[in-house]
A and B are shown apart, each in its own frame.
Chain A
Amino acid sequence: MECVFGLVGKGFALVAADTSAVNSILVHKSNEDKVMVLDSHKLLGASGEPGDRVQFTEYIQKNLHLYQFRNGMPLTTAATANFTRGELATALRKNPYSVNLLLAGYDEGVGPSIYYIDYIATLHKIEKGAFGYGSYFCLSMMDRYYHPDMSIEEAIDLLDKIIIEIRTRLVVAPPNFVIKIVDQDGAREYAWRESIKSPDVTMA
């Protein structure tokens, strides 16, 4: 039921994910952020078993930081993707992680890129991709409406259409989504698309 999808536009990459944390029929929370900011210019959207998702993405994030500390410069997106895939592959025949990932990054000179990494350590560099039951609806829409070098307005419009389609057609559709963007200025949260809001607690 977890949906993660993303695409590359003109000078930016977008990753969106649903924000429900679910256990069998129970929704524990509807505002769980599943797109991790790995470093200044990288995003990692993850879906899969809850323990694996958090532990594996944090492991990748900390290793990325360690590389930067040791070498005084960050890893490129391509190198990060290959490192991540390598970790999944090594664990695969011993103690596998059940996580599907979309890694998005911006590199000087290369521009934006997205990598598709699935739970059995498949690695593809792609322009648009999706994971989860939502992918059945997203992929055709992205195939139809995507074109290279989309502007940010066109890309967000496409993402919104996809979110509406998922909400309309998926039987247990997640109500809320988070959209994050990475471009020349860095990786940051772009917007939330919420149809269920939890009441905010104001601290005494």
Chain B
Amino acid sequence: MNLDTSGLESFSAAVPSAMIGGDQLGSDQLFGPASFELPAGCADFDKFQMEAKKTLKPAKGTTTLAFIFNEGVIVAADSRASMGGYISSQSVKKIIEINPYMLGTMAGGAADCQFWHRNLGIKCRLHELANKRRISVTGASKLLANILYSYRGMGLSIGTMIAGWDEKGPGLYYVDSEGGRLKGNRFSVGSGSPYAYGILDNGYRPDMTVEEAHELARRAIYHATFRDGASGGVVSVYHVGANGWKKLSGDDVSELHYKYYPVQATPVEQEMVDAPPA
């Protein structure tokens, strides 16, 4: 994000050039040239607005989330794929099963995510065979982060979370194509993530039951799909426990809408009455 720090630079006033009389009858010369720089965007406001929206809007059109609680990890995602304003699919699998105890989420380029998660699954299996023990979530996420870092700047678009259960218990990492890798308890990735964070942050308690956590995740994705045009389709929710992952539900978002906000018969506001006889 670029903050405008021009106010902190030393002020150098542009000296208005001497006005010549007769030629400057055009309106913009009437008051002389500006003695200060006009703010960016005044010249072409529509372009400025577009640029502003583009900077604020994360490029990955999706909503995925994952959080750790006492009973393990919940992973949830929507299923919409969009190409600009066109919805290309409402049934994309955005939760990728790396192996029976680890899940990855997909945000960004679908091909990039699918390919590199599959590649990660291969590397995890090779690790198991070479070391006679399962790879940890820390290790798997570091493998992926190092691979993505080496392709930094070459146009990969991946914003993924690696969630799993290993010897140390539940683990959750956020890994992206810029090379960032963060360990945490709660993440949401994609264009709908701010909306999901709003629900997730306020409903989260570490001591939830699996059912409560399931409902929280489903609600968070639903609210994100309601507000974000690039998210929609079906909400899938998975739970990763000590024995591996299990898919809990896959609900269509429009059906969820009417379940949470059923249509209410609105009373007629004002009834027309016959005009009283004159």
Task: Specify which chain A residues have a CB less than 8 angstroms from the CB of B58 in the assembled complex.
Answer: 23-24, 26
B43-72 Cβ-contact flags toward A at 8 Å (1 or 0):
000000000000110100000000011111
Task: Specify which chain B residues have a CB less than 8 angstroms from the CB of A198 in the assembled complex.
Answer: 185-186
Contact with B184, one of A26, A29, A199 (Cβ below 8 angstroms): A29
B194 touches A25 (CB 8 A): yes
Contacting residues of chain A (156-204) with chain B, CB-CB under 8 angstroms: 171-172, 198-204
The CA-CA distance from A182 to B31 in the complex, in Å, is 61
Given that A49-B179, A201-B69, A204-B70 are contacting pairs, would A26 and B3 also be in contact in the complex, using a CB cutoff of 8 Å? no
Contact with B185, one of A52, A171, A201 (Cβ below 8 angstroms): A201
B245 contacts chain A at the CB level, 8 A cutoff = no
Contacting residues of chain A (20-52) with chain B, CB-CB under 8 angstroms: 21, 23-26, 28-29, 32, 49-52
A67 contacts chain B at the CB level, 8 A cutoff = no
Contacting residues of chain B (160-207) with chain A, CB-CB under 8 angstroms: 169-170, 174, 176, 178-182, 184-187, 193-194, 197, 204-207
Min Cβ gap A108→B in Å is 35
Given that A1-B1, A26-B58, A200-B206 are contacting pairs, would A51 and B194 also be in contact in the complex, using a CB cutoff of 8 Å? no
B149 touches A201 (CB 8 A): no
B70 touches A202 (CB 8 A): yes
B8 contacts chain A at the CB level, 8 A cutoff = yes
B169 touches A203 (CB 8 A): yes
Task: Specify which chain A residues have a CB less than 8 angstroms from the CB of B205 in the assembled complex.
Answer: 199
Min Cβ gap B251→A in Å is 26
B149 touches A55 (CB 8 A): yes
Min Cβ gap A47→B in Å is 13
The CA-CA distance from A24 to B170 in the complex, in Å, is 28
Closest residue to B187 on the A side, CB-wise?
Answer: A28
B247 contacts chain A at the CB level, 8 A cutoff = no
B194 touches A26 (CB 8 A): yes
The CA-CA distance from A203 to B72 in the complex, in Å, is 8
A201 touches B180 (CB 8 A): no
Given that A55-B179, A199-B204, A203-B70 are contacting pairs, would A26 and B197 also be in contact in the complex, using a CB cutoff of 8 Å? yes
B79-110 Cβ-contact flags toward A at 8 Å (1 or 0):
00000000000000000000000000000000
B152 contacts chain A at the CB level, 8 A cutoff = yes
The CA-CA distance from A29 to B134 in the complex, in Å, is 28
Min Cβ gap A165→B in Å is 15
Task: Specify which chain A residues have a CB less than 8 angstroms from the CB of B185 in the assembled complex.
Answer: 198, 201
The CA-CA distance from A32 to B181 in the complex, in Å, is 11
B182 touches A32 (CB 8 A): yes
Min Cβ gap B91→A in Å is 27
A52 touches B179 (CB 8 A): yes
Contact with B149, one of A23, A29, A51 (Cβ below 8 angstroms): A51
The CA-CA distance from A78 to B155 in the complex, in Å, is 38
Contacting residues of chain B (1-45) with chain A, CB-CB under 8 angstroms: 1, 3, 5, 8
Task: Specify which chain B residues have a CB less than 8 angstroms from the CB of A146 in the assembled complex.
Answer: none
Min Cβ gap B176→A in Å is 8
A28 touches B179 (CB 8 A): no
Given that A24-B55, A51-B180 are contacting pairs, would A171 and B206 also be in contact in the complex, using a CB cutoff of 8 Å? no
Task: Specify which chain B residues have a CB less than 8 angstroms from the CB of A1 in the assembled complex.
Answer: 1
A60 contacts chain B at the CB level, 8 A cutoff = no
A51 touches B178 (CB 8 A): yes
B3 touches A21 (CB 8 A): no
The CA-CA distance from A133 to B176 in the complex, in Å, is 25
B1 touches A199 (CB 8 A): no
Task: Specify which chain A residues have a CB less than 8 angstroms from the CB of B207 in the assembled complex.
Answer: 202
Min Cβ gap A28→B in Å is 6
Closest residue to B55 on the A side, CB-wise?
Answer: A24
The CA-CA distance from A24 to B180 in the complex, in Å, is 14
Closest residue to B71 on the A side, CB-wise?
Answer: A204
Of A24, A171, A202, most B-chain CB atoms within 10 Å: A24
Closest residue to A32 on the B side, CB-wise?
Answer: B182
Min Cβ gap A52→B in Å is 7
Contact with A51, one of B56, B170, B179, B186 (Cβ below 8 angstroms): B179
CB-defined A-B contacts under 8 Å, sample of 23: A1-B1, A21-B180, A21-B182, A24-B55, A25-B1, A26-B58, A26-B194, A29-B184, A50-B179, A51-B178, A51-B181, A54-B180, A55-B149, A133-B5, A172-B1, A172-B3, A198-B185, A199-B206, A201-B185, A203-B70, A203-B169, A203-B170, A204-B70
Q: Which 8 pairs from chain A and chain B are nearest by CB?
A: A51-B179, A50-B180, A201-B206, A204-B70, A29-B184, A203-B169, A51-B178, A51-B180
